[in-house]
Structure 1
Amino acid sequence: MSAKTMSSKIKTVVSRARMYEVIRAPLITEKTTNGSEHSQVTFKVAADATKPEIKQAVEGLFKVKVKAVNTINVQGKQKLFKGRPGVRGDWKKAIVSLVEGHKIDVTTGL
């Protein structure tokens, strides 16, 4: 077996505490609400979270089946804070596509 196929077969298990660290908050905007019509949910996630970790966290916390995970690193905006220039922090966004028939209601808590 080559190193690539061997590494793809190794599956790490994410602890319950790490699941809560990975999924920070749901994003509720007009664009993400339109995505919910296509079985997609958008979350703010930890900057060091990987796609397999995000998938396991969503499946473990919300008891749903995940089809795909797409991630985006969002750069912080330059803004003025009390008249002085500053930069908002960078953050990571994950768009999680669910299998047909599964649904997450982000308006209710865990």
Structure 2
Amino acid sequence: MADITDIKAILYTEKTLGLGEGNVAVIQTAPSMTKNSLKAILREYFGITPLKINSLRMDGKVKRFRGRVGARNDFKKFYIKLPDGVSLENIGA
């Protein structure tokens, strides 16, 4: 069962800020997170019932550092459609 510590970050990029105008928030999580567990976390900790959740699994990029091969960590991105008037920025304020 996933918990709130599996949420790594709320993503703020040029693309996600544009999506924010349509009440869509983008969250980066651990790869083990599911839509149902994220929905339960949003309800329990933030009091939000999302309208829709889309997920995207991202594999870590293979990179070289000083001639050695390594890889970035895998993660999941969730696109969360929020009800009108609700945003993740004003939660907890």
Q: Equivalent of 2:55, from 71, 84, 95? A: 71
Q: Which has the higher contact order (CA 8 A, sep 6+)?
A: 2
What displacement does 1:84 show?
A: 1.7
TM-score under structure 2 length normalisation: 0.83
* Identical-pair percentage: 30
Q: Secondary structure at the match of 2:38?
A: helix
1:56-105 CA-partner distances (Å, limit 9, x unpaired): 21222222231011111001111112232222121111111101222210
Equivalent position of 2:67 in the other structure: 83
**Structure with a larger share of its residues in helix:** 1
What displacement does 1:109 show?
A: 6.8
Q: Equivalent of 1:62, from 40, 43, 46? A: 46
Larger Rg: 1
Equivalent position of 2:36 in the other structure: 52
Matched to 2:40, the amino acid is: Q
Q: Equivalent of 2:76, from 92, 96, 99? A: 92
Equivalent position of 2:15 in the other structure: 31
Q: Given that residues 59 and 65 in structure 1 are in contact (C-alpha distance below 8 angstroms), is that contact kept between their aligned partners in structure 2?
A: yes
Query: How many residues are aligned here?
Result: 93
**Consecutive unaligned residues in structure 2, runs of 5 or more:** none
4+ aligned runs moved over 6 Å, structure 1 = none
